[in-house]
Amino acid sequence: MSILDKFYFFDFGAIGENLAAGEKYAKLAEFALAARRQNPIVFDELTEWVRDNKNWADANLSENERLFMGILARFKEQNAALRVLLRELEPSGVVNAAVFPALDRFDDELSGKLHDKNLQDAVSAVFADFLAMLTREIREVVAGTPTGQFGTLGVEIFGYVNYLKDCDASVQWTLFMPSMVERQQKGFKVETFEYRKLPAMRFIGREGDDLADLENRKALFRTLDALGHKSGFDYDVLFMHHYGLAAENPWHGFWGRFMAADAPVPEGFVHFDFVPERDNDNFVAGPPFLSQFTFATFSGNLDAMHTTEGYDSDAMYDVTRNIMLGQGINIPYPDKYWTTEVFLEGCENPSTAYMFSAEK
């Protein structure tokens, strides 16, 4: 079976004309969920195929061009058909509007109009003349590195195929995530959800096993109370990240607070600076992090919103992330990725809010 045949494409003939709009959209959501389970593995296989030197003898070039460009053409064809069906369903109110920008972005990438300009020259060369794929350095840029089933593995090169994989996932997420988020709210609910972009700020805090003790946490926050230098987002928090590296690297959790950008750092504490925008287009791992995030607040059963059973991480994390994916809000993973549990009523009470790194 060819790589093209391994991708999961939607059978538009499976949608009966007599189905109601909601039923048709449910079929699309089912397709998207099935594609999400299968396509990431196939995109990684495509990456490995492009990287493997033995596939790129001159004699194979015409066949390879038919396969590679055929994959792009098949996804463009599917996107066009999706767009027609979604526009037909749109007046009924069942369509998540975020799917249209996701399709636009995917179509741009499939047409060789890259959002990552660092890859543009290599991809343009391939679109102009497929002979360029005989150059190992160009193939490496096109292929990238496998990122795994969930797209979270660290990579040496984030290449063109990696972007195609992400774009395919983005379309799928906008189709099935809103209904999944509804199902995930078991015993609790999202009260508010918003995107925020704050001025430069500084997180100050520390990590350590001793902070499992409530009295030690209270002492930490008394020290921060005495500093002043408030940022306007003055809750007790547990700030979590991997220093800008992929999730398979060590996790770190720091108790502390977001303070003003010029706040002094007490002895024994650490700090991480935040800025509203990147200084440039390069992906520099770790701080300064971005002071862009989504902020979700929750109500309901505390045990339910903190459970890990049936979730990738825990309920508040998963629901916050999945709302973002459904709305097409970019998560700057891994280089500027961070999350935060927010203790709206102080560290002596359970957290009922969540911050999740974002980038627009």
pLDDT of residue 276: 96
Mean pLDDT across the chain, nearest whole number?
95
**Are both 115 and 263 inside the same structural domain?**
no
CA angle 357, 86, 27 (to 5 degrees): 85
**Are both 242 and 151 inside the same structural domain?**
no
Report yes or no: 107 and 43 within 8 Å, Cβ to Cβ. Answer: no
Domain ends where: 184, 199, 227? 184
**Are both 267 and 339 inside the same structural domain?**
yes
Instruction: Return the sign of the alpha-carbon dihedral for residues 36, 38, 39, 44.
Output: positive
pLDDT average, residue stretch 330-354 = 96
Q: Say if residue 228's pLDDT is above 90.
A: no
**Are both 8 and 132 inside the same structural domain?**
yes
**What total of structural domains would you count in the chain?**
2
Give this prediction's pTM: 0.94
pLDDT of residue 281: 61
Report yes or no: 44 and 147 within 8 Å, Cβ to Cβ. Answer: yes
3-class DSSP state for residue 172? helix
Pairing outcome for strands 270-275 and 289-290: parallel
Q: Say if residue 117's pLDDT is above 90.
A: no
Domain residues for the domain of 114 are: 3-184
User: Tokens 């292929």 belong to which residue?
Assistant: 143
Q: Say if residue 313's pLDDT is above 90.
A: yes
Domain ends where: 160, 184, 208? 184
pLDDT of residue 215: 97
3-class DSSP state for residue 273? strand
**Are both 160 and 193 inside the same structural domain?**
no
Report yes or no: 145 and 158 within 8 Å, Cβ to Cβ. Answer: yes
User: Tokens 């935040």 belong to which residue?
Assistant: 274
What are the backbone dihedrals phi and psi of residue 74, each rounded to the nearest 5 degrees, phi first? -65, -40
pLDDT average, residue stretch 221-225 = 96
Question: pLDDT band for position 352 (50/70/90)?
Answer: very high
**Are both 160 and 220 inside the same structural domain?**
no
**Are both 273 and 295 inside the same structural domain?**
yes
Question: pLDDT band for position 153 (50/70/90)?
Answer: confident
Q: Domain of 271: which CATH number?
A: 3.20.80.10
**Are both 199 and 120 inside the same structural domain?**
no
pLDDT tens digits, one per residue of 168-206: 999 999 999 999 999 999 999 999 999 999 999 999 999
**Are both 140 and 153 inside the same structural domain?**
yes
Report yes or no: 268 and 206 within 8 Å, Cβ to Cβ. Answer: yes
Domain ends where: 168, 184, 200? 184
**Are both 153 and 229 inside the same structural domain?**
no
**Are both 159 and 209 inside the same structural domain?**
no
Cα 255 from Cα 206, distance rounded (Å): 6
Q: Say if residue 95's pLDDT is above 80.
A: yes
